[in-house]
Amino acid sequence: MRFNMGRYLIFLLLLLSFPAAGALAQSDQSLPSAVQLDGFRFEYQGWNNCGPATLTNALTYFGYTDNQTRAAQFLKPNGEDKNVSPNEMIRFVNSQVPEIPVFALTRMGGTLDLLKLLLANEFPVIIEQGYDPPPHDLGWMGHYLLLSGYDDAQGHFSTLDSYEGPNQLYTYDHINEYWRHFNRRYIVVYESGREPELLELLGSDADQTQNALNALEQARDEATRNPQDPYAWFNIGTSYVALADVYQQQAYEYAASAYDEARKYGLPWRMMWYQFGPLEAYNAVGRYEDTLALTRANLNDGGGQWVEETFYYAAVAREAMGESAQALENYKQAVFLNRNFDEARIALDNLQTQTASN
């Protein structure tokens, strides 16, 4: 095989750039060999309603009495929307359920030990993961799982799976494999008075910048072990995007290169229904045609036309290219699909004001 010095240098740059993560350990607390949280009320998901249903199931642990419709009306006003992001879900908890003193946070780069630690301390956890439902010709998609317990002797987590049903058991190996498809993203729902305790349990991951560095280190390790692992490279890209507020343009440049590697080795065709880091990174580094190519693919894949982010990132690219009329139409469609999509609404208002003054 011919040696490619350029790709080798990119590989080294991505794996060695930015400071190494701090200690990953969250707590030295001794954990019980098995834990099971009770008190949930389970509800199967409606059409495209995995996120709202799973979040509703989690909130019932704290006495929430509403059903998934309330969450869905806020999170995905368009019933055909295929995706609800973790940030949207925590926004719902933190702003839309004032009747119970409950909040939520999200982090990435989790570990199985962290999941056990949180459950052992009575914090329900939602994870975002890949999913291959039967029949297999449905293909890969994203899915949320609500974890309610674990059993070391059996080597599994107990879950409330809004698609499959309550009391679903998934092995540690299964969770570890499919969770990594989403950079091991997790959501913790907690009572407001327990926030200091939760942050202490999270350790260095309590700080969002350090959490992104920890997740980056985790993904780097996986890419080092298997340089052809598309999920490892995708997670490197996602971690760099999360660091853009600190490292600015350099983070986006590294992210774009990592996403290139991920796409080279192959990703599920529905990936851009759920994760938009490549679109954000490509726009940030001026690769607008690459963004438009990915959004066009989303429009033609049988579902991405209902994902508001498809139109938002296309609009950002169009606006940067000076195509204001098309950008306006794309922003309008993003807002039409989700009236609560604040970034799209603000961008639309700004561009309308700008074009009106010209």
pLDDT at 356: 85
Each residue's pLDDT tens digit, 125-184 = 999 999 987 766 678 999 999 999 999 999 999 999 999 999 999 999 999 999 999 999
- Rounded Cα distance between 66 and 59, Å, is 9
Each residue's pLDDT tens digit, 16-28 = 566 655 544 556 6
Each residue's pLDDT tens digit, 330-353 = 999 999 999 999 999 999 999 999
Q: Is 0.85 surpassed by the pTM of this model?
A: yes
pLDDT at 95: 97
pLDDT at 23: 45
CA atoms within 13 A on the CB side of 271: 20
The answer to whether the bond into 135 is cis (omega within 30° of 0) is yes
Instruction: Tell me the domains of the chain and their CATH numbers.
Output: 34-206 (3.90.70.10)
b/e code 297-306 from CB counts within 10 Å (16+ = b): ebeeeebbeb
